[in-house]
């Protein structure tokens, strides 16, 4: 340990195999990020300003719009900064903060998808008791639980990653600080952090996806029991936007963290879909459907 020169910053090398495309990528990602902030802020404003939308479903949707603004803000501003020709350096603490908030917001949003699936289950399968079950106190408790799960998840991953010693190369071959890109730079054994990271992320994603599937299986059975075609279509329309958003969110996560031989370009493309494109699509999906 005494012979190590500890790093105080990392260099983000950006998206693999995109050298020479910085100006084009800057324009594209700036547009997407701006549209994401605009679309989700309009959804949140519409929900808070209209008393008819002060229901549990729109309460969760309003929170989702907040997370869809915060989540890309963890990585996109820094990426736009160095795509514009500025310094690609990020401080050691900044790298740790980026990893922590990326997993905090990402996992909390994943929990929120499960909560929204449960909300749809109660609305369709128990419509007469909906307001009794989904009381304001229950809704707030579910959100707090989702945040605590995300906080625990992010704390475990960040502490395991940055308790390691980083003393050699400081070049992160990625566009932000994440486990697969940072851990290979460690001077000490990172097998435990790699294993715990893969298990933690994979287990949480699969458990949340399983809870969503259970809710929608019950919803599907309830919809099939509705006799009128109009009633079935109305019930399905309340869930279609949420199902579409879930597919956009969980697909990239599972692909990234469960692949045996990571492909840098594929991983970057999938992460961009997850980090930047998916929050923009959510605003389109919910505004068009709701």
Domains and CATH numbers, the chain: 9-288 (1.20.1070.10)
Residue-wise pLDDT tens digits, 212-259: 889 888 888 888 787 777 767 766 666 766 677 777 666 666 666 566
d(Cα 138, Cα 198) in Å, to the nearest integer?
32
d(Cα 40, Cα 45) in Å, to the nearest integer?
9
Q: Indicate the angle between helix axes 56-73 and 22-49, nearest 10 degrees.
A: 160
Q: Give the Cα-Cα-Cα angle 107, 105, 101 (nearest 5 degrees).
A: 115
| pTM of the complete model | 0.88
Residue-wise pLDDT tens digits, 138-168: 999 999 999 999 999 999 999 999 998 888 7
Q: Residue 170, Cα to own-chain centre: how many angstroms?
A: 26
All residue ranges of the chain with pLDDT < 50 are 1-2, 290
The predicted structure's pLDDT at residue 60: 92
The predicted structure's pLDDT at residue 8: 83
Tokens 């050699």 belong to residue:
168
The predicted structure's pLDDT at residue 290: 47
The predicted structure's pLDDT at residue 33: 92
Beta bridge partners of 10: 90
Q: Indicate the angle between helix axes 56-73 and 136-162, nearest 10 degrees.
A: 20
Residue 95 and residue 182 in contact, taking contact as beta carbons nearer than 8 Å: yes
d(Cα 75, Cα 101) in Å, to the nearest integer?
10
């Amino acid at each position: 340990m005494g012979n190590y020169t500890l790093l105080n910053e990392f260099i983000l090398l950006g998206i693999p195999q995109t050298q020479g495309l910085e100006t084009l990528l800057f324009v594209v990602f700036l547009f997407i990020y701006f549209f994401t902030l605009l679309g989700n802020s309009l959804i949140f404003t519409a929900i808070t300003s209209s008393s008819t939308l002060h229901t549990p479903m729109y309460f969760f949707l309003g929170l989702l719009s907040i997370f869809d603004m915060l989540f890309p803000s963890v990585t996109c501003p820094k990426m736009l900064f160095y795509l514009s020709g500025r310094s690609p350096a990020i401080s050691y603490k900044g790298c740790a903060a980026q990893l922590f908030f990326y997993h905090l917001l990402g996992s909390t949003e994943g929990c929120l998808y499960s909560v929204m699936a449960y909300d749809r289950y109660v609305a369709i399968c128990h419509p007469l008791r909906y307001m009794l079950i989904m009381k304001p106190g229950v809704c707030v408790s579910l959100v707090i639980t989702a945040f605590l799960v995300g906080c625990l998840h992010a704390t475990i991953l960040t502490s395991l990653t940055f308790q390691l010693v980083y003393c050699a190369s400081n070049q992160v071959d990625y566009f932000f600080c994440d486990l697969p890109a940072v851990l290979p730079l460690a001077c000490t054994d990172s097998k435990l952090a790699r294993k715990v990271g893969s298990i933690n992320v994979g287990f949480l994603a699969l458990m949340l996806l399983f809870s969503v599937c259970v809710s929608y299986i019950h919803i599907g059975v309830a919809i099939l029991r509705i006799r009128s075609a109009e009633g079935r279509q109305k019930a399905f329309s309340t869930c279609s936007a949420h199902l579409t958003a879930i597919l956009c969110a969980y697909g990239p996560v599972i692909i990234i963290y469960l692949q045996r031989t990571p492909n840098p370009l594929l991983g970057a493309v999938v992460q961009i879909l997850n980090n930047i494109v998916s929050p923009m699509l959510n605003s389109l999906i919910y505004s068009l459907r709701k």
